[in-house]
């Protein structure tokens, strides 16, 4: 297909105009406060991470980054709010693992996360811990697999609900090992029942478990990431026994589709600079998260990979939303 000279010049002119417009937007950005939507309640790990990053960005960008908590519908309400916001860089999303799961888990969403949210920057990746009640006669993942296979359907795996990270991380483990665990979803805090032995195992976030691990009320068998966690350096990974197992909780910043590329580049640069700060990195490690700066394209590729991985697990296990 040949393009005429006049049409070619029109396309070139349009591209140049768009480039100049993006540059103009970037030159003055940000000129007012930026809102960061967090789809978890105040005080949660996601909220704390968002506020740590927001504090740093506020200082470097010269405008307040205001954290706006919008919990509900497993994160879909907050995500939808950002999807429909003006693509001007003044409404951002603290994206995470729930977005990768929800893309497949929910078949009636009014948006497509991969299409409608532009990747801006990755903040970090965190391990969960595979933790059992001490009455379970297993001290390693290998011993637990053997015990579970000898007692199929008799071990209760507690989770925060269908499709949560605590659920899909466990389902991936079952899919890869062939063990049968009984899924017991909780809508409220499950810690007391786990310590009491009413449920026996959880694939849970390290910050909420680490104190109970240290005082011996719970036993950590492994961490879920491919490499060991700085928060629990002496605890092996699941992958050391089950090659290829890798389940991570991740956090990053997204923006509405069609947000100017120049604005995304500014945010990416400033977020990555903040993540190189030793003090911020230490605070993230305290939350079980290791900083993972990435370029927007690299972050987008990472999100696609996570979405594809959890789609396979959700379909294999037949998981449906609550």
Are 186 and 221 within one domain? yes
Please check whether residues 88 and 169 belong to one and the same domain.
no
pLDDT > 70? residue 10: no
Do 120 and 131 belong together in one domain? no
Query: CB-based contacts of 243: which residues, under 8 Å, 6+ apart?
Result: none
**134 plus 218 within the same structural domain:** yes
**Quick one: which H or E segment has residue 221?**
strand 219-223
DSSP 289: E
Mean pLDDT of 64-80: 97
Total Cβ atoms within 10 A of residue 80? 21
| Mean per-residue pLDDT, 196-208 | 95
What is the CATH classification number for the domain harbouring 199? 3.40.190.10
The residue from 240, 257, 275 where one domain ends is: 240
**At which of 208, 240, 272 does a domain end?**
240
Using a pLDDT cut of 70, give the percent of the chain over it.
92
Structure confidence at residue 12 (pLDDT): 53
Residues 253, 121 within the same domain? yes
In a domain, 4, yes or no: no
pLDDT at 9 over 80: no
Residues 149 and 229 in one domain: yes
pLDDT band at 188; cut points 50, 70, 90:
confident
Residue 234 shares a structural domain with residue 252: no
Q: Residue 121 domain-assigned?
A: yes
Question: Same domain for 132 and 110?
Answer: no
As given in the structure block, the two tokens for residue 134 are 């001490």
Residues 167 and 209 placed together within one structural domain of the fold: yes
156 and 226 housed in the same domain: yes
Share the mean pLDDT of the chain. Answer: 93
Answer yes or no: is 13 within a domain: no
In a domain, 269, yes or no: yes
Q: What is the CATH number of the domain that holds 53?
A: 3.40.190.150
Is the pTM here over 0.85, yes or no?
A: yes
Residue 296 structural domain: 33-126+248-317
Q: 228 and 275, same structural domain?
A: no
Question: 247-276 pLDDT, tens per residue?
Answer: 999 999 999 999 999 999 999 999 999 999
How many structural domains compose the chain? 2
Same domain, 306 and 256: yes
**Per-residue confidence (pLDDT) for residue 1, from 0 to 100:** 46
Give the H/E segment covering residue 31.
Answer: none
């Amino acid at each position: 297909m040949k393009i005429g000279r006049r049409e070619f010049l029109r396309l070139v002119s349009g591209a140049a105009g768009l480039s100049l417009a993006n540059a103009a937007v970037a030159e003055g950005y940000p000129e007012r406060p930026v809102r960061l939507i967090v789809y978890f309640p105040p005080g949660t790990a996601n909220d704390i991470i968002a506020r740590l990053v927001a504090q740093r960005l506020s200082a470097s960008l010269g405008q307040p980054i205001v954290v706006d908590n919008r919990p509900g519908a497993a994160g879909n309400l907050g995500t939808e709010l950002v999807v429909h916001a003006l693509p001007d860089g003044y409404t951002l999303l603290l994206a995470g693992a729930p977005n990768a799961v929800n893309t497949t888990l929910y078949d009636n969403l009014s948006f497509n996360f991969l299409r409608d949210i532009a990747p801006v920057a990755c903040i970090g990746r965190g391990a969960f811990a595979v933790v059992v009640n001490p009455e379970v006669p297993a001290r390693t993942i290998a011993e637990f697999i053997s015990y579970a296979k000898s007692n199929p359907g008799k071990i209760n795996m507690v989770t925060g609900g269908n499709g949560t990270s605590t659920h899909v991380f466990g389902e991936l483990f079952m899919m890869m090992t062939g063990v049968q665990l009984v899924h017991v979803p909780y809508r409220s805090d499950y810690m007391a029942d786990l310590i009491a032995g009413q449920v026996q195992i959880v694939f849970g976030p390290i910050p909420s478990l680490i104190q109970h691990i240290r005082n011996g009320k719970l036993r950590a068998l492994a961490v879920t990431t491919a490499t060991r966690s700085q928060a629990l350096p002496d605890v092996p990974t699941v992958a050391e026994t089950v090659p290829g197992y890798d389940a991570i909780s991740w956090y990053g910043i997204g923006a509405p589709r069609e947000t100017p590329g120049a604005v995304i580049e500014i945010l990416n640069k400033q977020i990555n600079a903040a993540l190189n700060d030793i003090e911020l990195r230490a605070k993230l490690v305290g939350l079980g998260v290791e900083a993972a700066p990435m370029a927007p394209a690299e972050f987008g590729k990472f999100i696609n990979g996570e979405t594809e991985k959890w789609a396979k697990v959700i379909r294999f296990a037949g998981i449906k939303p609550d």
